[in-house]
Amino acid sequence: AKEEGRNSYRFYSKEMTTLAFERLVMEENLQQALENKEFRLYYQPQFDTRTGEISGLEALIRWEHPKLGLLLPDQFIPLAEENELILKIDRWVMRTAMEQFVQWYEEGLNPGRLGLNLVIRQLNSSDFIRTLEECIAQTGFLPSWLILEISEEQVMSKPDEYIKKLQILHDMGITIAIDDFGTGYSSLAYLRRLPVSMLKIDHSIIEHIPENTDSVAIVKAIIALTESLGISVVAEGVEEEKQKISLMEYGYYYMQGYYYCKPVVADEIEKLFLKK
Ligand code: C2E
Ligand code: CA
Ligand code: CA
Ligand code: CA
């Protein structure tokens, strides 16, 4: 059957550009990767610098490609997002991470909350909420443990359309976070109307702290804004101590980045943090 598949690619490729051909192959490979269990889930901890404890873990997917090695999400998620494949992949992510969290909590360990990346295609899919409820019921995961992260760019593309759906999730007890915050054009009006209780500040802003006065002004403005709205903030991409120190001075507590830990597999999370 594999041989047949290859021949049909060759047939199609005559009418297609190389790029379209490569995409077709990649889509086919992504489908097979799910079946062959080639995806791996990594976790990156988030810390509360006041206590030094883990406040949560963000699940980040990797693809252990049999020929190409470990692939990062930017190398395959954008393509998967163009069709229904992302729904299947993220369903796997959701289930795997929830099972892991339930296991940790049952062992008496405390991984904090689980951050899952959500894309608009999921929010638009008619059975996303049912899938989520099913997954929660089947694994024994608690909705209050969950943070759904959606990028500012995606949610602000059509905020009015998404308010209702995000409200349903919020009413289930799930935390909604705006990811990559500071890269798009959120208006204060929308931040008020969206049921959002967390912002994750994009690493491109954190990167220039404390040297760049514009970046400093932005992170200070965000803190001032979120305090009045009761929204918590996470600084992403913290790589150096000076960033951490400055951010703490401005009133930031929650941090995530290579300075603390890069994304690692569940066993490493246990060894480094949960069972130490
Ligand atoms: P993101 O949600 O903004 O995730 C944070 C990214 O920053 C991760 O990249 C992480 O490895 C990286 N990072 C962490 N600390 C640092 C640091 O100190 N410095 C710098 N420069 N980068 C840092 P990663 O794992 O390559 O993921 C890239 C993006 O792919 C994610 O961005 C997210 O949008 C998407 N993604 C990852 N996993 C999934 C998934 O399971 N489902 C979906 N739909 N999207 C995913
Ligand atoms: Ca994220
Ligand atoms: Ca981010
Ligand atoms: Ca992102």
Residue with the nearest Cα to atom 41 of ligand 1?
Answer: 61
To the nearest 10°, report the CA torsion of 28, 34, 35, 38. Answer: 110
Ligand 4 centroid from CA 156, angstroms: 14
**CB 258 less than 6 A from any atom of ligand 1:** yes
Ion ligand 2 neighbours (CB, 5 A) are 117, 149, 179
Give the chain's mean pLDDT: 92
pLDDT tens-place string over residues 158-194: 888 899 999 999 999 999 999 999 887 777 778 888 9
pTM score: 0.93
**CB 116 less than 6 A from any atom of ligand 1:** no
Q: Which two tokens stand for residue 237?
A: 């991409």
Nearest-5° Cα angle at 169, 183 to 154: 25
pLDDT tens-place string over residues 244-267: 999 999 999 999 999 999 999 999
Ligand 2 centroid from CA 179, angstroms: 6
d(CA 256, CA 268): 16
Cβ–Cβ < 8 Å for 43, 101: no
Pairing state between β 254-255 and 69-71 = unpaired
Q: Which two tokens stand for residue 113?
A: 């909350």
Mutation test of ligand 1: which of 30, 57, 60, 122 has the most ligand atoms closer than 8 Å to its C-beta? 60
Ligand 4 centroid from CA 9, angstroms: 32
Cβ–Cβ < 8 Å for 159, 187: no
